[in-house]
Amino acid sequence: MSLDITSLVKKYDTPLYLYDFNNITKRYEELKDAFSGKKSLVAYAVKSNSNLAVIRHLANLGAGADCVSIGEVRRALKAGVKKYHIIFSGVGKRDSEIREALKEDILLINLESEAEMKRVEMIAAELGKEARISIRVNPNVDPKTHPYISTGLHENKFGVSIDTAKRMYIYAKKSDHLNPVGIHFHIGSQLTELSPITEACGIVADLVRSLDAIGIEIKFFDIGGGLGVIYDDEKTIVPADYAKAIISQIKGLDITIVSEPGRYMMANSGIFLTSVLYEKQNGDKRFVIVDGAMNDLLRPSLYNAYHKIEAVQKEGQKTPADVVGPVCESGDFLGKNVELPPLDHHDILVVHSAGAYGFTMSSNYNTRGRAAEVAILDGKDYLIRARETFEDQVRLEESCDTSWQV
């Protein structure tokens, strides 16, 4: 996006998240088009960026929502996602969450264990309902991504083995309160190679065929999320190839392909803006200290993730610097050895590819208020989340029992 960053920062201050809604549209349409000719649903992974405006924008385009808590389900409903486009996944769900999801009559509750299936069955029986379910299968495929975001191996906590899944489907089919209509897998995030996706699809499609042979008809083939994006110079998968690989594995099946992209929609639709506070030199080491920190954007600290960082309208000889925040942790950095020109107080740095798992993973650590969020649509800017104040942060403490105080 070509933006007047300086005036946006004057208007909204920093730290600030900025999202390009036109790019979100483009990304959604690219993916939807890739599956054209097939029944498909793009269920946006709300966890990647759960701002109501983002979800609403995608809902208006026709997207569904992949949610991992009842909070996310509520966000999706509030943002106008159709009930029959909402999926509730996650490795552990409280009874109250299951109950609410059943009452809302969303498309699917995704099960991750036999124990969970029994809970859902019991609660559905209490409510006199039949729960539409899918089962998350763990195909034991190495996704070749960062171990923290790899989820499709047996050593990961997610899903159930093929054999367990089969047993669960047979049980569910006989139950008066379960309706097994979906199958789900998600082998990992930031996938940049097609072969693990093809392999996992093949394994799961074979299970669908064997279920069909015993009279269990699966209608939704949920391939999860995971489509990688470019942060630096990595090669990624283009949506057309992604779709082709999936479609090649489900030949002969009359099934709706559900995808759950998060990062693909949002990572490169967002940037994070932070202001320089000062520079300092510790021995040979140059530090640029900024007003954004690990509490705003955790990915560099948590995964050693790379985000390209650039100075706005600043010339001069570039030298390497660590870009660090004010949080009291050595791990508080946004970038290491970033080539930057000499910087002054109030200069602005752009941290790229920050639209996914940026704001949603932010916290109040060090009693820092969370950043504001702004959307850019057709060249106009809209505040979509106000900057969090100190009062916002202490409200829930101040409203508590204070009778212990003398």
Task: Cis check for the bond before 15: say yes or no (omega within 30 of 0).
Answer: yes
Q: Which residues contact 178 (CB under 8 A, 6 or more apart)?
A: 117, 120, 121, 124, 130, 131, 133, 171, 172
Q: Count CB-CB contacts under 10 A for residue 12.
A: 20
Q: Shortest distance, CB of residue 204 to ligand LLP, whole angstroms? A: 14
The residues binding ligand LLP (CB under 6 A) are 45, 48, 66, 89, 149, 186, 189-190, 224-227, 260-264, 299, 356-357
Nearer to ligand LLP, 90 or 369 (CB): 90
- The total number of residues shown for the chain amounts to 406
State both tokens at 238. 């283009």
Nearer to ligand LLP, 58 or 356 (CB): 356
Q: Shortest distance, CB of residue 403 to ligand LLP, whole angstroms? A: 41
Nearer to ligand LLP, 180 or 348 (CB): 180
| Contact (CB, 8 A) for 230 and 194 | no
State both tokens at 396. 């829930």
The closest alpha carbon to 187, from 169, 202, 209, belongs to 202
DSSP assignments along 305-370, one per residue: ----EEESS--S--EEEEEE-SSSSTT-EEEEEEEE----TT-EEEE-S-SSSSGGG---GGGPPP
Q: Which residues contact 320 (CB under 8 A, 6 or more apart)?
A: 286, 337, 338, 339, 340
Residue 328 is among the residues annotated as catalytic for this protein: yes
Helix (H, G, I), strand (E, B) or coil at 199: helix
Nearer to ligand LLP, 89 or 275 (CB): 89
Which one from 67, 201, 328, 400 is the annotated catalytic residue? 328
Q: Shortest distance, CB of residue 113 to ligand LLP, whole angstroms? A: 15
**Max CA distance (Å), the chain:** 74
With CB atoms as reference, the residue minimizing the distance to ligand LLP is 225
Q: Shortest distance, CB of residue 227 to ligand LLP, whole angstroms? A: 6
Q: Shortest distance, CB of residue 264 to ligand LLP, whole angstroms? A: 6
Nearer to ligand LLP, 229 or 288 (CB): 229
Active site residues: 328
